[in-house]
Amino acid sequence: MPKWEIHNKWAEKTGLPGEISNFVNHLSDFPEECPEFMEFCEREGEEIILELVSVRDYRRIMKIPKYLQVVFLQRQKGSEYVKAWYLHYVLDYIKMAPALTVEEILKRTEDRFERCQELEIIKEFVMGNSEEILEDCR
């Protein structure tokens, strides 16, 4: 995964405040150390998971930990946090999958999660800065 300095650099370039980027970095990499997220999971996690099971959304069931993070941010924190989370996720994916193009990574991210305005904004931003992002992340 890229260092948090890289995540913070790109979050700042999107106009996201450092406190949001730092919160999302911590949530993404150490979710068990985020009390707000753990409380959310205890309070709402079972209901979210049961809903996924009841509609037999097995693709999403296989991704429950990351899915719970996105739902937590949508419900508890708001749009800027969701954008920061998608940016963090995409930068990590770029680092982890050097054989994939940025376009392939963005497509897979979109396929893995529900389409939303925040993801569309991050996709557009990453495509517009892909060369420099690749230099930083690979």
- The model's pLDDT over 13-59, given as tens digits with 9 standing for 90+, comes to 999 999 999 999 999 999 999 999 999 999 999 998 888 778 776 77
Quickly state the pLDDT bin for 65 (edges 50, 70, 90): confident
Which pTM does this prediction carry? 0.92
Quick one: how far is CA 69 from the chain centroid?
8
Give me the pLDDT at residue 69, please. 96
- The model's pLDDT over 79-136, given as tens digits with 9 standing for 90+, comes to 999 999 999 999 999 999 999 999 999 999 998 887 899 999 999 999 999 999 999 9
Nearest Cα to Cα of residue 122 among 36, 18, 29, 7: 7
Burial class (CB in 10 A: 0-12, 13-18, 19+), 123: buried
Residue 116 sits at φ, ψ, to 5 deg, of -155, 165
d(CA 138, CA 118) in angstroms, rounded, equals 24
d(CA 106, CA 15) in angstroms, rounded, equals 20
